[in-house]
A = this chain, B = another copy of it.
Amino acid sequence: MGTIQRKRVTMSDVARLADVSKATVSAVINGIGMVKDSTRERVLDAIERLNYRAAPVHTWQVQPTGRKSLGLIIKEVDNPYYAEVVLGARAVAEENGYSLLVASSEGKYESERRAVELLRAKGIDGLIVTPVLHAQSDLSHLFDLQRRNYPYVLIEQVLGVRASIVDVVNEDASRKAVEYLIAQGHTRIVHFAGPTYSMHSQERIAGVRHACSASHLIFTDDHIVRAGAHLADGYRAGLAYFRSCPAESRPTAVTCYNDLLAAGLYRALAELGLRVPDDVSVIGWDDIPLAEYLSVPLTTVRMPKARMGALAAQMLIKHVEAHSVLPPQLVTLESELVLRASVRRLTL
């Protein structure tokens, strides 16, 4: 009663209390070998009495089957974009006998750092990271991995790290999207921007900016609306922006950091009595499954989400299973503009 646990309860404690040897305790716990029922009872009872929990065993021998594992650190749990990336990575992992463990940084550097350290320390075989953009861009946790010769792959570029990377050319896609809008006769374009912790967000802004200036369109910081990454963000930003926007200077088209933003914007526009695409054209990014199921199917820049995850997993497994240190590998994928019904051709 009220006994204070000073030290971790160990297998020896259990053995002592049950009056058996450690080996017997081990046998009971792992359900191997034959142990007399009465003995098992005693052991189990001792375990409960002491609240004993076996310490993880670092089985230095061949990994027991089904213990191979990969980690994946994403940035937003509730973003279908990452869901598809996870699914792609998971498929490849399973194919190769690996289990996939996912952690999310939710855009916070500290969380990412802790997740990286945790997964490595726990003996997960390798890591895929979608790194958050950080003010001071502290890469120490990644350098730490390098030092330890720990296999990892980055999804999304991060400057200053020599590692294997899978990424997409974002600027290119932005250009295509904006050029398409311009070709349809749009001249007043606004961009709803994503979170600052995302490199993709930055690249998409830059892409839109360049494409506009290349076409001699005016695109200032006023044409960038900081929105976010979720449905509610698109709704809020859309409502605020279009409410305070005089009808005559209203943008004819909006490009959104992602499809979720676009879907939220749809609703805001509907509430304001504005129709898509008649009054406002909308372009999204990612091509999440929802995009084609919206009331007005969404024109969007398709990211090869599952492919990115799959490729990263493939690369990672190669590194994990290599008998020697492999040189970093860089794969860059293309994105593609998917034309649907959310953009209207303007009469000139």
Contact = CB atoms under 8 A, between A and B. Distances in A.
A295 B77 CA distance: 24
A86 interface: yes
A278 to B, nearest CB: 15
Interface stretch (A116-124, A128-136, A184-192, A216-224): A116-124
Contacts of A106: 90
A319 to B, nearest CB: 10
Interface in A257-304: 263-264, 266-267, 270, 289-290, 293-295
Nearest to A110: B66
Chain A binding site: helix, strand, loop or mixed by DSSP?
Answer: mixed
Taking residues whose C-beta sits less than 8 angstroms from the other chain, chain A's interface range is 35 or more
Interface in A96-128: 99-104, 106, 111, 114-115, 117-119, 121-124
Contacts of A41: none
Contacts of A148: 29, 53-54
A348 interface: no
A58 B10 CA distance: 13
Contacts of A5: 323
A51 interface: yes
Interface string A142-155: 00100111110000
Interface in A62-111: 64, 66-67, 69, 71, 77-78, 80, 83-84, 86-87, 90, 94, 99-104, 106, 111
A123 B231 contact: no
Contacts of A122: 56, 69, 122-124
A48 interface: yes
Contacts of A69: 118, 122
B103 A66 contact: no
A99 B77 contact: no
A54 B125 CA distance: 11
A291 to B, nearest CB: 10
14 contacts: A29-B147, A55-B58, A55-B123, A56-B58, A56-B123, A57-B121, A77-B87, A78-B84, A99-B115, A101-B101, A101-B103, A101-B118, A102-B103, A235-B293
